[in-house]
Structure 1
Amino acid sequence: MDLLRMENVGFKYVGCSSPVLEDISFKVKRGDFLVVIGASGSGKSTLLRLLKRELVTNGETSGKIYFEDRLISDLSDQEAASKIGYVMQDPEAQIVTDKVWSELAFGLENIGVPRDVIRSRIGEMANYFGIHNWYQKDVADLSGGQKQLLNLASILVMQPEIVVLDEPTAQLDPIASLDFLRTLQRINTELNTTIIMAEHYLEEVFGMADNIMIINEGTTELYSSPLEAANLLLKDEKRAESLPSPIRLHHLFENKEKIPFTISDGIQMMTSQFGQQEIMKQPVEQKSNDKPKKTIISLKHVSFKYGRLESDILHDVTLDIYEGEIFSILGGNGAGKSTLMKVMSGLALPYQGKVTINGKKVKPKSKHVVYGHEVVYLPQQPLSMFVKESVKADYESFLKTMGYTNIEESINGIADWFNISHLLEQHPYDLSGGELQLVALGKILLLDPDIIFLDEPTKGVDTQNKNKIAQLLKEFSDKGKTVIIVTHDVDFSAKLSSRCGLFFDRQMISISDPVTFFSNNYFYTTPVNKMVKTYLPKVVTFDQAKGSWLVIKKREDCNE
């Protein structure tokens, strides 16, 4: 018997002329691990919310959804709450209490589970997840990875049949993300819990899946095995960029062995490809820039904390950012990266040290820093940037406030570049995470600023739009504009950055070019570098691997 079944399901939002989902049909068996993929705005989040009836937004639903051969609409409130769990993209959006133990108990208390049973379930779950070490903590003191793990544990303590997850690792650092996904895999294999997850970043989850579902413009393009999905996406060069690096390298090297889905399998593929050859020197030349560098942002011995009695978040930080560079800040959840960016931008003032922008010290109510025209800031929660009923109305109001006159031309230009014209009339709250990220980025770039601060700009964004964002930011950099990015996206950072740095123990460390930075790391590095490190130690991106492979093939041809 199928655990879950959709039959000809469609959905149309209130006020929209066309449906976001149309004629979706599929079946999920008990214990399956299903990964749903597709471009930003393809309907993935809407599809997942239909499985959790409490989260369905206003709109018109067609077709039928069955859970254990019963319509989801016929489930009792207790069954709907306990049997189908849901984990959101934003770890903080789902937490409702202030203590870890209280969060674990919240769902059970609301469905009337006896107190002794609650205590027993919580104890078991806390030990399973390793939460017992921070069981008494305030939720506010947890890292992003711990909060997302708490969300998952709070769902599983209800003993659901299905756990639905909407890009659950989008805001987690690489190490926390891997830990979370491996915990999810354990739950699937050890507890036989059915997993349905939407995800853009496929490096780890592709190999975990029993089936892959590709959503394309609101319809099911494919529902099949990971192998079938890989073969389909490999036919299109642009769509293939979303595939895990082991699959892309296998295709690049024209390897005849079984397609690898995991990093471990990819390393074995490299061994079979190159055997016991000596380590090759990186054949891809790195661009050098000997031109004098103009310092745009400078921090000298800066320390910062949020309260007089609190501990330092930044301590004695000294850092220079140069004109025209793209500088990426990486580090663990809760390390203080976003705080560092706020201090760099002048949005938060240090209690010690000096911050200068364009050679002028940042002070309270600094008049020389013209926010909006010269300096813009994209926050980690972009929804906070929107106050109007539609994206276009918000854009128009923003430009009028900033004194612009060529409003229509500016909006059309940015909408065409980001391909978001179809989103302009929508309410910001109706957008997917990836769509919201794009329109928020579009809003701050309307003003053509000189200094751009971006906090997790690729969160929830599909690969093709990431490439578009990277291209736009490179164009800004080429014009002499400066870009500072806080990100967990190591691939994006490696491809785009002029320099990278790791924020650790309240300071910036290991600042260097992307090749040096990522090739010297074991965990904070790219999947490509993990696989090719033994043979091509300085290759950190797929494009570099491609360039190296062409050189290697040319050498082999010359030696024949």
Structure 2
Amino acid sequence: MGGNAMEAIKCEKLSFAYPQSEYNALNNVSFSVEKGELCVVMGKSAAGKSTLLKLLKKEIAPYGKLSGDISTFGRVGYVAQNVEESIVCNKVFSELAFSLANEGKSEQEIELAVAQSASYFNLESKLESEVSELSGGEKQLLNLAAVMINNPDILILDEPTSRLDPVSAMRFVDIIKKMHRDFSTTIIIAEQNADALFESANSIMLIENGSLLIKAEPKSTVEYLKENNNALIGAIPIQMRLYDNASTVAECSEIFASKNINPISPQKADLKTILELKNIYFAYEKGRDVLSNLSLDVYEGKINAILGANACGKTTLLKVIAGVYKPYRGKIKSKASISMLSQNVFDIFTKEKCADEVSFGELCDFLEISDIAERHPYDLSGGQAQRLALAKVLERNADIILLDEPTNGLDCVLKDKLAQLLKQLCEQGKTILIVSHDIEFISRYCDCASFLSMGKIVATKPRREFFSSLSLYTSTVAKITKCDIVSIDDLKECGGI
């Protein structure tokens, strides 16, 4: 198939079905991406985003029934969502040098290329480090640098910030935008939360049930979603859909400041501790303390949240609470039963059919996974696997439910469903403890939040007080209002929208 001289990617009537699947993952998809274009791909969970991106990189294209035409004009680099599965070497230098060594480059060529890449991606101080010593944000930067060291013409990224804390995600996106400016690299990136990229994108591609809804500039995409009352409007940055004639936080702040705001209801203070951690210390083998003199109260019948940077100890804390790890000092007081959903949800699956993992009934209907009963868990999309694992954890009927990054892989509609489910569980007397990087979700739905840093809890406050006291780890609404109105629901209650 021939291509326009300005085209980097061209797909015509592309359809794809996985083996033994009764439906197409992609249906008659046609589009083109121009050289130097930054295109953001958005859509619901299991819409076909990851399938499409993998098909654009023939070396990792999934096996199945393919029809239509795919053309990529130039070398293609691919950055996967799960960085742990992408990195192959123990040392940072070795990871950057790996592909160059495989191509037979000389030692001098490799050293120069690695030095240049490490400088650009701010990894110079980490070159002699073990990969295991890096934070999540640093690992994803290393993953990106290892791909870019081969100078691809086209860069494909599949939800690269989904496992990063807000500050690390912001830095990663800044690098993507800088690369786009510096090198005019063609970039196509799938993101559930596209806030930081939306305004810089040349185009937004919306995929629904394997079909292309629209590919257009950001403002036209917003208009399309509003006109069609499409639920994906919830994935659009808040500042672009809050007020007419406003598209930035600053513009929204100005409009909000001009409004007459009603007093907002005070948060209820009926807090009863169901789980108490007192002066907890934990370290891996003979390493440094990951948790150090940590104390925390978890409140009964509430959605409790913990935030903090990558590698600050949040997952370790959940595993200590769950009894997976034992602290070497300190006390944990609770008589409640505990169940945990880990961040890597595939670890929980042991059967060859989803129907053998959980009882498919009302809960699976609510989570919209009834149609996956006969599939293998490892064949699911990230969002489907997340919901199946959640159903399995909830079936245990524990008093306290620990959730490690539960919104990973979920679109805006499913996030709202998850919140509804968690609220129902709390009304039934269950207690929820969430670790999450999803600021917009937590700031809207939690009852109280804690910040973990340097191995200990440095603050625990009610939701509105917590997020209004922060400047970086806070919601878009809090940045707009500059007060304790921190979510869309708060804005509605006070008459701000």
The TM-score with structure 1 as length reference comes to: 0.85
SS where residue 441 of structure 2 aligns? Answer: helix
SS where residue 36 of structure 1 aligns? Answer: strand
Q: Does 1:51 align with 2:59?
A: no
Going from structure 1 to structure 2, the CA distance change for 1:281 and 1:225 (only over 3 Å counts) comes to closer
Q: Does 1:381 align with 2:344?
A: yes
Q: What do the CA deviations read for 1:80-133 (whole angstroms, capped 9, x no partner)?
A: xxx211111122121110000000011111222333222111111111111001
For residue 281 of structure 1, report the CA deviation from its aligned partner. 6.6
Q: What do the CA deviations read for 1:333-390 (whole angstroms, capped 9, x no partner)?
A: 00000111111122211001111222xxxxxxxxxx7xxxx32110110011112222
SS where residue 249 of structure 1 aligns? Answer: coil
Who is 1:74 aligned against? none
For residue 285 of structure 1, report the CA deviation from its aligned partner. 1.1
Counterpart mapping for 1:254-403 below 5 A: 255=244, 257=245, 259-260=246-247, 265-271=248-254, 274=257, 283-290=263-270, 293-307=271-285, 309-358=286-335, 374-395=337-358
Going from structure 1 to structure 2, the CA distance change for 1:313 and 1:96 (only over 3 Å counts) comes to same
Q: Read off the aligned partner of 2:266 and give its amino acid letter.
A: Q
Aligned pairs, number: 491
For residue 282 of structure 1, report the CA deviation from its aligned partner. 6.4
Q: Read off the aligned partner of 1:314 and give its amino acid letter.
A: L
Who is 1:95 aligned against? 87
Q: Read off the aligned partner of 1:311 and give its amino acid letter.
A: R
Q: Does 1:209 align with 2:181?
A: no
Q: Whole-Å Cα distance in 1 between the matches of residues 495 and 299 of structure 2? A: 33
Q: Whole-Å Cα distance in 2 between the matches of residues 148 and 445 of structure 1? A: 31
Contact 2:339 2:401 in 1 (8 A): yes
**Bigger Rg over Cα:** 1
The correspondence for 1:178, drawn from 161, 170, 173, is 170
Q: Read off the aligned partner of 2:235 and give its amino acid letter.
A: S
Unaligned runs of 5+ in 2: none
Who is 1:127 aligned against? 119
Going from structure 1 to structure 2, the CA distance change for 1:353 and 1:272 (only over 3 Å counts) comes to closer
Who is 1:226 aligned against? 218
Q: Whole-Å Cα distance in 1 between the matches of residues 375 and 38 of structure 2? A: 33
Who is 1:364 aligned against? none
CA RMSD, Structure 1 to Structure 2 (Å): 1.7
Unaligned runs of 5+ in 1: 69-78, 359-368, 396-409, 554-560
Q: What do the CA deviations read for 1:118-161 (whole angstroms, capped 9, x no partner)?
A: 21111111111110011110000000000000000001001001
Q: Whole-Å Cα distance in 2 between the matches of residues 58 and 427 of structure 1? A: 15
Who is 2:495 aligned against? 549
Who is 1:439 aligned against? 388
The TM-score with structure 2 as length reference comes to: 0.95
Who is 1:361 aligned against? none
Contact 2:281 2:329 in 1 (8 A): yes
Who is 1:416 aligned against? 365
Q: Whole-Å Cα distance in 2 between the matches of residues 272 and 89 of structure 1? A: 37
Q: Does 1:460 align with 2:409?
A: yes
Who is 1:402 aligned against? none
Q: Whole-Å Cα distance in 1 between the matches of residues 384 and 463 of structure 2? A: 28
The correspondence for 2:472, drawn from 511, 518, 523, is 523
Contact 1:433 1:459 in 2 (8 A): yes
Going from structure 1 to structure 2, the CA distance change for 1:513 and 1:7 (only over 3 Å counts) comes to same
Contact 2:426 2:432 in 1 (8 A): yes
Who is 1:404 aligned against? none
Q: Whole-Å Cα distance in 1 between the matches of residues 50 and 182 of structure 2? A: 27
Q: What do the CA deviations read for 1:254-279 (whole angstroms, capped 9, x no partner)?
A: x3x3x41xxxx32134325646x8xx
The correspondence for 1:249, drawn from 236, 242, 252, is 242
Q: What do the CA deviations read for 1:467-521 (whole angstroms, capped 9, x no partner)?
A: 1011101111111111111000111111121110110011011100110111010
The correspondence for 1:20, drawn from 25, 39, 56, is 25
Who is 2:233 aligned against? 240
Q: Read off the aligned partner of 1:391 and give its amino acid letter.
A: C
Contact 1:282 1:539 in 2 (8 A): no
Contact 2:41 2:188 in 1 (8 A): yes
Q: Whole-Å Cα distance in 1 between the matches of residues 465 and 365 of structure 2? A: 36
Structure 1: which 4+ aligned runs deviate by more than 4 Å?
none
Q: Whole-Å Cα distance in 2 between the matches of residues 506 and 330 of structure 1? A: 12
For residue 458 of structure 1, report the CA deviation from its aligned partner. 0.3
